[in-house]
Structure 1
Amino acid sequence: MPIRLELPPSLKDLFTETARAERGGRAAAGMFVCSGDPTVTEICASAGLDYLLIDAEHAPLGLETVQAQLRAAAGHGAVPVVRLPGLDEVLVKQYLDLGAQSLVVPMVNSAADAEAAVRAVHYPPRGVRGVGSALARSARWNRVPDYLERAADLLTLVVQVESAAAVAAAARIAAVDGVDGVFVGPSDLAASMGLLGRQTHPDVVAAVKDVIAAVRRTGKFVGVNAFVPDQAQDYLDAGADFVNVGADVALLARGTEALADAWCAPAEPGAAPRGSY
């Protein structure tokens, strides 16, 4: 008797009316995982977040590493999402085949870029994705019934708006058929606006909010990266559907700095040595 499996939800499933109601109407929240360590991914996936964004763009993560993290995250509640290194048909095919159901494609600057991303994630005749489901984890080696016919419904495509040109084209990008959602990257956006490292500059914040409004008008979901809590809340108040509020490596960096400040800074004159009684 053949084994029949079903795949878990993808990112777009967090934004159905039912899912929103189960969260009490709140937006979804998640974080980057960049370390490449499956144990770290498992810890983060089981912490109660809505999703994890596995970053193959800025972190040194290859196919095998990402697949290990997808396996580590499986069954722990948080939806795993993979950000690709770039828009490349071969990479899209490979990351989909290894089991990534939710993709973020960075540096999408126009509707034409978004259309290319849609083609990359779909099988012919709609797209150009190569067919290898019998060999791949995506279809659990042909144990997911009718995977080829259902793949479009099982996947989520998010395009990343992170340049001044993309902000101007945000409504056209979001309106592309096959784009499920938009993710705004304030850091690269700030750089493209001549404000490198100043992602909380009022002009950058205004541009992000313009994108949120434009995407929401198309009926697609939209999120933004914002590690500063007040900034994250401001974007949620502006209508963002999800917010990326941290990263494993950033949490480790700040946590170890706090330990060093507490235990390795020079003692005040006359103070008892740390650890003494």
Structure 2
Amino acid sequence: MNLKEKLQNNKLTIGSWISIGHPCVVEIMSNAGFEWLVIDFEHTSMNYETVQNLITTIQSKKIKALVRVCKNEEVIIKKVLDMGADGIIVPMIKNKADAIKAVEFAKYPPVGKRGVGLFRAQNYGLKFEEYKQWVDKNLIIIAQIEHYEAVENIEDIVNTDGIDGVIIGPYDLSGSLGFPGEYHRVEVKEAIAKVLKCCKRYNIPSGFHVIETDPKKLQEKINEGCTFLAYSIDFLFLSDNATKGMEIIKKDIK
């Protein structure tokens, strides 16, 4: 069962987040057993060329390459998909209108409004018809829920045709409620619970970006019913393991 099929059947799938724009990082992360990796094009210094190189590297490891685009904007989404991304995560989806825009920017007419051009995704012009069919059947579009307005409109968002699932961004969600970074506060937890409850009611994949590298934190989200889970991020895996190792070494030094 591929990623699209897992989303359609609301089955558990686990990936991670790429913020360091180097192919070696992707190759190392790919060896960990993730089913997909998200290239963060919103909060990093990556340019389009770097994003394309990382997409190619991820796909060479036989896993799915998703891109968290920097904005729900037509040209950005079109360019990333023409580079060959398997799907997109679209930030700051606040209502049904935002969700519809994301789908329209990603899909060709008559479903959407995506401009038709030839690049890597279409095998440089050799397989446009095949790619067009692939978009209809396999393209993944995830709405990122990271604002209190999105929580208020969550039912409309999850029921938008073309949206394959949602993923909660805990940091921005806490910020929109006035408590940036304090995603363990009661107010933030209540907002998250509302999203998860709605997804469960409609059998829509509910996602969460678990920032911590502690596997127990990921298990907590599985227990809550999340099925599209991003497990931490490249630089935290590096930082946490190096720090913990040095702490042990310093304790052992006589």
Q: Does 1:138 align with 2:130?
A: no
Equivalent in the alignment of 2:239: 253
Letter in structure 1 aligned against 2:185: H
Distance 1:95 1:78 in 2: 17
Q: Which runs of 4+ in 1 moved over 4 A?
A: 265-268
**Alignment check: 8 A CA contact 1:209 1:235 kept:** no
The Cα of 1:207 is off from its aligned counterpart by 1.6
Equivalent in the alignment of 2:131: 147
Residue deviations 1:113-142, cap 9 Å, x none?
Answer: 111111101112332211113xx1112224
Distance 1:226 1:207 in 2: 16
Larger displacement relative to structure 2 (104-113 or 217-226): 217-226
**Alignment check: 8 A CA contact 1:212 1:239 kept:** yes
Q: Secondary structure at the match of 1:30?
A: strand
Residue deviations 1:53-82, cap 9 Å, x none?
Answer: 111111111211111111111242432211
Which of residues 186, 191, 208 in structure 1 aligns to 2:170? 186
Larger displacement relative to structure 2 (146-155 or 159-168): 146-155
Equivalent in the alignment of 1:177: 161
Give the gaps of 5 or more residues in structure 2: none
The Cα of 1:210 is off from its aligned counterpart by 1.4
Distance 2:178 2:158 in 1: 25
Aligned length in residues: 251
The Cα of 1:16 is off from its aligned counterpart by 4.8
Q: Secondary structure at the match of 1:74?
A: helix
Distance 1:243 1:106 in 2: 16
Residue deviations 1:87-111, cap 9 Å, x none?
Answer: 1100011000000121000010111
Q: Please, what TM-score do these two structures have when normalized by structure 1?
A: 0.83
The Cα of 1:259 is off from its aligned counterpart by 4.3
Equivalent in the alignment of 2:186: 202
Larger displacement relative to structure 2 (202-211 or 82-91): 202-211
Distance 1:13 1:254 in 2: 33
The Cα of 1:249 is off from its aligned counterpart by 0.9
Distance 1:219 1:81, change over 3 A: same
Q: Secondary structure at the match of 2:27?
A: helix
What fraction of aligned residue pairs are identical, expressed as a percent? 30
Distance 1:115 1:79, change over 3 A: same
Give the gaps of 5 or more residues in structure 1: 1-8, 21-26, 272-277
Q: Please, what TM-score do these two structures have when normalized by structure 2?
A: 0.90
Greater Rg, structure 1 or structure 2? 1
The Cα of 1:149 is off from its aligned counterpart by 4.1
Q: Does 1:237 align with 2:223?
A: yes
The Cα of 1:213 is off from its aligned counterpart by 1.8
Residue deviations 1:142-179, cap 9 Å, x none?
Answer: 44453224422121110101111111111101111111
Q: Secondary structure at the match of 1:146?
A: helix
Letter in structure 1 aligned against 2:151: V
Q: Over aligned residues, Cα RMSD in angstroms?
A: 2.3
